[in-house]
Structure 1
Amino acid sequence: MAVEPTLVPDDTTTALPPRPFHFTPGTDEAVDEVIAAGPREVFRTLLQDRESETTLLLARRVLHAFLAPARVRAVDDLPAAVGELVEQARAELVPAHASLAAADREVRADLLRQRGVIALLDGCWLDAVSQPATQPALVVNRLFGHHVVLAGGGNPLESAQHRRTRALEDAGAALPDVAAADFLDRAEARPATILLACFPLALAVLPANFLPEVVGVHHAFHRLGIDDRLLGTPPPIPPGDLDALLAEYAGQASPQDRGRVLAAVELTLSLEREHLGLLIELLEFRRTQTLESKVAEVISRHAPLAGKQHGRVTLGDRTLVETFAGFGRIAAGADPVALAEFLAEFRESPYLVEQPDGDCRFLAATRFGGSMFGIFDEREAKVLADWIATVHKGAKPSITVRPNTVGDALAARWSAAIRDARPDDVVFDASPPSDDRELFYRLVNIENHAATLQVAADRAERCFADAQVLFEHGAGGRYTDASFFEYDADALYARAEKIYWEKLVEPYEPLKEVPDADEVLFEQSTYQLTYLIDGAWLHRVGRLGRRERESDGMLFRIHADEMGNGDVRKNHLTLTRRAMVSQGRDLPHIRTEEFTDQDELPDDMYGFALQQLSMCLLPDRFYNEILGYNLAIEMFGSGEMRLHEIQKLRHHGFDDCYEQAHLTIDNFSAGHAKQAADIIVAYLDRVRRNSGEAAVAGEWRRVWRGYASFAFFLEQPLLREVATAEPTDESTELVL
């Protein structure tokens, strides 16, 4: 019979309750080491090491350094107050924009590369805003919709980051991917620029705890639009959409939360002013920089990399190796006097003596066939050639090297603030979770329980290892076939189609007798813990610095579909709530301590949910396994089980929206099930092209154990049969 849709109230959460951040003792010492290593190491850690306690504590300290001085005050009309602040900042910055636009192309390219360090982080604060602890809040869905737009819907070539990268290239300011080892070097990033960039990177690590700040930063950064003005590009998020987000948030938020948004807006505008001021300072430095100082920068940039090959090359009474060891990089505090002395001596050396054809030994060595060919890029080579031309004309001014100290005072201030940041909500406690319910709570709220990351890693790895028992016995599965086979694309598609038809679709026959309502409700309760974390296995894939693989974008598209692409009505967690409420289950949110006391969902189903939460927190470590798990869970969305559940729910008048959604979206013709197989093929094809055929086998085995890990929980009757013949390893019992 037809069932009326169940109405559930919107989740109007605008901030999570303040809670302490738990870390293993000793993590603070590791963070101190990162901070002591300097801004580059702080930037690298926040960007590239998202799976360690060190990074989460580092992010908390960075956010404390930036946010603690902010003044949170009451505000009645948040959109009006923010609009006034943004317009005031835009007006103030008009002269700066005019000065930057008037710079000659070469200098402007230098400035844009500097700005690119921040510009290419755009939206990183939204990477993990959609997560089990925050969904399906209205504001989170609104933000996630913007995230989908910024990510180009999962197509890297349509993303805002790619478009901005192209605009930088067109302006002569090309930069590599932000995760590239030489990104900061290519940008010639000043320490202050790097530190300012660490604020959005830190926000990207802890977005659930700083949801009001995410809203404020997101709105102010895009509404101010410094990068769109500098590059002449259209706003990636239409202003009207930004204003709608802010208005919706203001209508739901408490005075305290609105005050936090306003403080974040003020901070963002202040930081943007600081960086634009740095660019103006850098512009003035470039305008007044002597040619000799430019040459000194080039020499100091390469001197540390010169190596022992210069051991036989002398200048005066010393080898170049000895000379270069004396001053290092000017950008890193090299002695400008030593560099000036070197240039004066080099100017008089035989290497620069003009030859009859106007050339010299040094320039000849930098050209094709020369011993230094390829050392200097086009810009550097031009600087050196221009200087040598003046030398050949007889110009021998007194050489004074003026080091680039742009932003150093600002960098010193922020470095000290981060070094001294000691938030009082940080707790050092390594006590393990008491049971599965507490572990579930911690994993959902992992931002506050980083000390549990190792527990998650160990648990996930143990399950993947145990699941390999199905490599031999998996063909007997009722809904899956995890038996191992050698990979090629055709074999994978053939196996997936066979499972789809023979195990999921063809066995279906309508139930002749529908169980009573109590039995239906109990069976639903065995699924619903995992329904409440639907899509979580993918929520950390495809973050900033992890988008270069085709498979990353494809996985993001699946996760976006699970979350309704920002439309809360289509969000699968909203559908879950609808279905549960129609069954008389209106449970607290899974992020709350109250949920740990619920008695509606059985304890013996926690293992399945815990495995999904454990692996999803470590998408770098378990990327392959997530691909295989994704195939298994998306295929299970189709066929007999779903059709039977729909029949039972309809018979008793319960809302079947969740089952219906998966029956349609997970099909194997073009839906998520087929896409999941395509993703594996795309990933392994990349492995083959990059590392050769031999590397594919090892990568594939890990992918397939991810598939087996899903079957490991689903095929319990089969595992009991296997255990009867071969006693189950104790570790298997621990995982279950």
Structure 2
Amino acid sequence: MNPRTAFPLPDRTTSLPRAPFHFSPYAAEEATAVLEGEPADLFRRLLADQESETTFLIARRVLAAFLATAEPQPGTDAEAIAAQVRETRRALEPAVTALRAAGTETRDLVLRQRAPLALLAGCWLDTVSQAATQPSVIVNRLFGQHFRLQGEGIPQRGLLARRRRALVELGVHLPEIEAADFLGRAGARPLTALHAAFPLALSRLPASFLPELIGVHYAVFALGVDDLLLGTEPLLPETEARAVLAEYLAFTEDSPTGPEDRRRLLAAIALMLRLESEHVGMLGELAAWHDGLTLDAKVAQIVARHAPFAGRQHRSVRMGDRRLSDWLDGDTPDLAAFVAALRESRQLKVRGDGSCRFLRSIKFGGPMFGIFDEREAATFTAWAEAIAAGEPADLDFAPDTAGDRNAEHWARALRTTAPDDVVLRAADSALDDREFFHRIVNVERFPHILAAARDRAEAGLAEAELLFTHGAGGRLTDAEYFDYTPEALRERVDRIYWDKLVDPYQPLTEIPDRDEVVFQQSTYALGSLIDGSWAHRIGNLGRNHRQSDAMLFAIYADEMGRGDIAKNHITLIHHVLASMDILLPHIRQDEFRDQGDLPDGLYGFSIHQVCLSLFPDTLYNEILGYNLGIEMFGLGEMRLHEIQKLRRHHFDVSYEEAHLSIDNFSAGHARQSADIIVSYLDDVRRNSGEEAVQREWRRIWRGYASFAYFVEHQLVRAARERPTPPPLPADRSDDVDLVI
């Protein structure tokens, strides 16, 4: 290999090369339908669907629509940029402070409206660390901050949990952000949903938009709108966000794409300053509208909330000359006329004891008790008292239009903006392993590969079931199937550790020559260059809600050095290879497909791992099992022999030593991997019972077997030659066709 094409360390990459994004025509049709629909549906699609090419295309079009309006402001260094952001913060601070000091009802309304943006802050970092970006220095800096924002493996101390607690302390109770009714409960206006779509879109394409991501990251945390509004201390101080910004700008000075990267970064900062200012302005509009509501208008708002549920069961109730169901039927009932009629109805007439029928009906024992919450009941009481005191009606209701003008601008941009780097064509049906690997590593550019990647993952999992009956004979693994209990799992893991990994170990008495050691290391290298990738999507917003998620995300963070570039496993393997004079391009690069140092026949293992990683929801169980296999593989005989061979020839041993240490069986990744499975299946048992546990377990063990399948070559060959055993009982079937 020509050293001039080698991938240099430290990696000061400031952006990936611009390239087309490939999608199928079907994805284009789906994406257009979503973008022409309701903003709330756009938000939900970007948040909930993390596995389809349609979501990638929606994200690309959202980014194009927003970024097309971005006008970069002059700024040559981090200090100048920080000064611009401080100026915007000073301009916004009085308005935000006033919103926080508003009356209880108004503040509640404002906090709910802001919640979708407050609770997704930092989501753009979810997959910035991936096979296509590691071991970039800047990506590692960002990942270190991401790990902190995620609570360093303890979600309860992360940013999302902190902000939810702050909302609760201020009296705002909302479901999880991924819940179907989250936006409804938040009362999200169209502008809020559209603004939220931008950072969510960025979270889907972070490798392709690294300059924009850094700009957004700095601008959001430097402005600190949500901390101002919630009265909380920042989890990520502005000075630390600025340090990453400054380092990135320094790298652009020596980058061939530096001027364009700086322009993109500055444009993203300008866009975020505009968006945050725009949203604070909308919150002010909302507060002013609510503060201007008369009691009649507030009653109308309550009626509007309950009208869809009120008509049919009140058909016998009449108000004036009409049935209640006639008043409230239809999509847009005449609320002013209804409130006027209710004011004059017998339900609001004051009795001799000072009460009225309506207020009695909503109290305990009344026919409408429990329909209205405490705040709504208080509004009705104040309204009835005002009517009794003779206050005249004010039925000129002003509609809530907060943010609608800007929302229409962004909605129109989403409908009409067509990025010129999108290519629509069906995915190639026949690709060699090198090209297939290239595309799944660069999945942001090739989302149309996802269907084939899913098929490839399922095929590998199905083939691996061969070891359910023949796996006990593995040299380093035991994938033979067994019924799950926590004790049975731990007994199997212990037995693999002692019987297959530790007890057989004897120091080598003969060390292979240099060329053989180099060749053997080259057979491992491809898998090492994507170390940790099987778990890189586990901590994403909207799906990180189980203890097992946090535990697995913490393992991935360890693989990436928790942001410390010197401890990053991808950095370590590059040092090992360099000590052998194996100088490779980055695996994302086109040149990597043509390198001759790594054998063709071993791509299947790495392809299977990356394919699994692309489906963190539908193949979650399998990822847990695969994780157990690969983390145990770092222990015992094989690893110790490799260290012995590398040392004899004075090669770098840092990668092997790191795994031998961090994967330790006492408290390291190997033990944690079993604990993750137990934690997950404990949740399944509590929610769905023992039968569901065994179904979920079978899929987990498929994942473990799929790792063993690529390790135990001789065992697999022998098993294929044996008679096919009878199938497992039907209740263990996973309905996956075996693909050979």
Tell whether the structures are fold-level matches, with TM greater than 0.5. Answer: yes
Q: 1:134: how far off?
A: 0.6
Q: Is contact 2:476-2:501 (8 Å) kept? A: yes
Q: 1:650-672 deviations in whole A, cap 9, x for unaligned?
A: 11111111111101111111000
In structure 1, what is the equivalent of residue 305 of structure 2?
Answer: 301
Structure 2 distance, partners of 1:629, 1:356, is: 75
1:275 is aligned to 2:279: yes
Structure 1 distance, partners of 2:355, 2:471, is: 74
Q: 1:289: how far off?
A: 1.2
Structure 1 distance, partners of 2:459, 2:316, is: 56
1:285 is aligned to 2:289: yes
In structure 2, what is the equivalent of residue 70 of structure 1?
Answer: 70
Q: 1:691: how far off?
A: 1.7
Shift in CA distance, 684/359, structure 1 to aligned 2, threshold 3 Å:
farther
In structure 1, what is the equivalent of residue 340 of structure 2?
Answer: 344
Q: 1:448-469 deviations in whole A, cap 9, x for unaligned?
A: 1110111111111122122112
Q: 1:519: how far off?
A: 1.3
Structure 2 distance, partners of 1:285, 1:571, is: 52
Runs of 4+ in 1 over 6 A off after TM superposition: 732-736
Aligned partner of 1:511 among 491, 508, 512: 508
Q: 1:105: how far off?
A: 2.6
Structure 1 distance, partners of 2:737, 2:41, is: 42
Between 423-432 and 309-318, the greater mean CA deviation after superposition: 309-318
Structure 2 distance, partners of 1:733, 1:713, is: 19
Matches within 5 A, 1:585-600: 585-600=582-597
Shift in CA distance, 107/484, structure 1 to aligned 2, threshold 3 Å:
same
Q: TM-score, normalised by structure 1?
A: 0.94
Aligned partner of 2:542 among 541, 545, 564: 545
Between 246-255 and 393-402, the greater mean CA deviation after superposition: 393-402
Shift in CA distance, 439/364, structure 1 to aligned 2, threshold 3 Å:
farther
In structure 2, what is the equivalent of residue 606 of structure 1?
Answer: 603
Q: 1:73: how far off?
A: 7.5
In structure 2, what is the equivalent of residue 242 of structure 1?
Answer: 241
Aligned partner of 1:572 among 546, 569, 579: 569
Matches within 5 A, 1:482-497: 482-497=479-494
Structure 2 distance, partners of 1:74, 1:361, is: 66
Task: Give the 3-state SS of the residue equivalent to 1:601 in structure 2.
Answer: coil
Q: 1:426-447 deviations in whole A, cap 9, x for unaligned?
A: 1111132521111111101111
Q: 1:628-659 deviations in whole A, cap 9, x for unaligned?
A: 11111101111111001111111111111111
In structure 1, what is the equivalent of residue 25 of structure 2?
Answer: 25
Q: Is contact 2:71-2:270 (8 Å) kept? A: no
Structure 2 distance, partners of 1:363, 1:482, is: 68
Structure 1 distance, partners of 2:642, 2:247, is: 37
Q: 1:175: how far off?
A: 2.4
Aligned-CA RMSD value: 2.1
Q: Is contact 1:292-1:400 (8 Å) kept? A: no
Q: Is contact 2:479-2:708 (8 Å) kept? A: yes
In structure 1, what is the equivalent of residue 3 of structure 2?
Answer: none
Task: Give the 3-state SS of the residue equivalent to 1:446 in structure 2.
Answer: coil
Structure 2 distance, partners of 1:99, 1:119, is: 18
Q: 1:286-307 deviations in whole A, cap 9, x for unaligned?
A: 1111122222222212222447
Q: Which runs of 5+ in 1 are unaligned?
A: 1-6, 329-333
Q: Which runs of 5+ in 2 are unaligned?
A: 1-6, 253-257, 726-735
Structure 1 distance, partners of 2:298, 2:656, is: 66
Q: Is contact 2:97-2:228 (8 Å) kept? A: no
Q: Is contact 2:72-2:270 (8 Å) kept? A: no
Structure 1 distance, partners of 2:691, 2:359, is: 45
Task: Give the 3-state SS of the residue equivalent to 2:423 in structure 1.
Answer: strand
Shift in CA distance, 519/727, structure 1 to aligned 2, threshold 3 Å:
farther
Shift in CA distance, 634/513, structure 1 to aligned 2, threshold 3 Å:
same
Q: 1:108-157 deviations in whole A, cap 9, x for unaligned?
A: 22212211121111100000100011111000000001101100102111
Structure 1 distance, partners of 2:73, 2:228, is: 31
In structure 2, what is the equivalent of residue 58 of structure 1?
Answer: 58
Structure 1 distance, partners of 2:519, 2:352, is: 94
Aligned partner of 2:376 among 377, 380, 399: 380
Shift in CA distance, 583/386, structure 1 to aligned 2, threshold 3 Å:
same
Structure 2 distance, partners of 1:268, 1:443, is: 31
Q: 1:280: how far off?
A: 1.2
Structure 1 distance, partners of 2:681, 2:370, is: 34
Q: 1:104: how far off?
A: 1.8
In structure 2, what is the equivalent of residue 192 of structure 1?
Answer: 191
Structure 2 distance, partners of 1:251, 1:542, is: 30
In structure 2, what is the equivalent of residue 179 of structure 1?
Answer: 178
Matches within 5 A, 1:121-520: 121-253=120-252, 254-306=258-310, 308-326=312-330, 328=331, 334=332, 338-432=334-428, 434-520=431-517
In structure 1, what is the equivalent of residue 633 of structure 2?
Answer: 636
In structure 2, what is the equivalent of residue 582 of structure 1?
Answer: 579
Structure 2 distance, partners of 1:547, 1:117, is: 16
1:43 is aligned to 2:43: yes
Q: How many residues are aligned here?
A: 719
